[in-house]
Chain A
Amino acid sequence: MSWTTDEMMTVAAARSLAGATTCFVGIGLPSTAANLARRTSNPGLVLIYESGTIGAKPEVLPLSIGDGELVETADTVVAVPEIFNYWLQGGRCDVGFLGAAQLDRFANINTTTIDRGEGRPPLRLPGAGGAPEIAAHAGTVLIVVRHSPRVFVERLSFVTSVGFGSGPDDRKRLDQPGSGPRRVITDLGVLEPDPETCELTLTALHPGVEVEQARQATGWPLRIADEFATTEAPTDDELAVLRDLQARTKEAHRARTA
């Protein structure tokens, strides 16, 4: 079966959740990947959304973190202060799964404002949401984002959520209880922090992608890991499950309910 680069990205992101018990899920690409994981690599995965739905098992992908679909399929629903204080800050979430508008080489994330140069006001992004504390408190963090030089930048306009700060000692110095970003999955390949320097390094490319494409799409001089892999192409089963999920979602969101 042939596949798109977005499908490859989502499948690779879903595979990264193998072995996790609980995942605090951001909306959009992370939610798609986490729901695919629950149907493929990790059927027992507990999905936690910031709306307070713990153990959600949606049949179609939610458009927002608060769709009725999440409530009706959850093991329990708790209030928002509780989800952040007891469950996230309390260290009950193995994996935090985030997207990003801008990302730097230490996997710090900007979702607040982007400078556009003299004479133009900064571009206003939606803002922090749950991300700063997910990045701080989840056991590890996965990031899924399309690879482009506008996203993978040399310097962030604004640090909304901390990855590794400016290097290996910063998480400890800044009292970030979780171990930080473990992997960034893009439509071109996979980046992981170097064990010594914490700088994001290219560790895998998806089938058919050249190293030069990843370099071109990265706004800093991208380092290539010594041990380098090619991602296994999506299986027919992974693609069938993903496409079925997306088709049902599209149908459900089209229906007007006014």
Chain B
Amino acid sequence: MAELTTLREGIADLVRDGDTVALEGFTHLIPTLAGHEIIRQRRRDLTLVRMTPDIVYDQMIGMGVARQLVFSWGGNPGVGSLHRMRDAVENGWPVPLEVDEHSHAGMANRYVAGASRLPFAVLRGYRGNDLAAQSDTIATITCPFTGDELSAVRAINPDVTVLHAQQADRDGNVQLWGILGVQKEAALAASRVLVTVEEIVDRLEPRPGAIRLPGWVVTAVAPVPGGAHPSYALDYSTRDNAFYQEWDAISRDREAFTAWMTEHVLDPAGAGR
């Protein structure tokens, strides 16, 4: 059964320097406050994996926790660029950042392979574009049955996957619903799984269409109400679109960004949430 813990202890126990870490959540249920705790605990040299880096990885990259980014779409949705990610890739600030860029279909299938404990997944993708040439995790293979040329993408098996979900019970069984993303795949592909939740409930009510992660595939659960902000948890909060728009100005400038992070993330008053 998963251990019930605090965010601070969960990150301290499960996320180590140099790890491959996936904070997943496709627009919905992004574990932003877990990202903040990783920043506060000064992890370094992480390989950050996420389909859509979003604000949480912009913040982590800007605070220097990452060495590599594995992703498929790195923008501020509907707003523009992720300025800290761009600055790291283009100018190496605050530290150089390697990237491994995939398509969404490729990344989703990499997680499927990881969860299936297969070395790679196969898809009809990447043909004729320039992505394969700059990535060592994309290759061409021939179907043994039809002779079709297909693309193989290497499995992703994170050292630790961090998710946010609506609910868990006291045995660490987790339930999440709404946009499902690659949550199940990212959890089952990982060696260790930390889930932050809106609330701990006595009993999880069965919900059609929800994802249930049994406590025996989860390492630890920490209650972190509001832990997805500015993303959201369906039926608990709504996406803070105004903040996504404000982030553009905050993150454009190195000093403004650092000041914002110091006040809102590093400041001890904000820690331990």
Binding site for B on A (CB under 8 A): 27-28, 50-53, 62-68, 70-71, 76-81, 84-85, 88-89, 112, 121-133, 136-137, 158-162, 165, 170, 174-177, 252-258
Contacts and interface: CB of A to CB of B under 8 A. Distances in A.
B114 to A, nearest CB: 11
Given A255-B242, A256-B243, A257-B237, A64 B77 contact: yes
A51 B181 contact: yes
Contacts of A165: 128
Nearest to B97: A124
Task: Give the interface residue-count category, chain B.
Answer: 35 or more
A132 B102 CA distance: 10
Contacts of A70: 179
Interface string B63-100: 00000000111110111011001100111000000000
Interface of B: 26-28, 51-52, 71-75, 77-79, 81-82, 85-86, 89-91, 101-105, 108-109, 111-112, 123-131, 148-149, 178-185, 209, 229-230, 232, 234, 237-245
A131 B103 contact: yes
22 contacts: A27-B78, A51-B26, A51-B28, A63-B245, A71-B234, A77-B178, A79-B182, A81-B111, A81-B182, A85-B123, A121-B91, A124-B85, A126-B73, A128-B103, A129-B104, A132-B105, A162-B127, A162-B128, A170-B128, A252-B241, A253-B242, A253-B245
Contact of A128 (B72, B184, B232, B240): B72
Given A128-B72, A256-B242, A159 B130 contact: yes
A201 to B, nearest CB: 22
Decide if the interface of chain B is mainly helix, strand, loop or mixed.
loop
B105 A85 contact: yes
Given A67-B239, A71-B179, A176 B72 contact: no
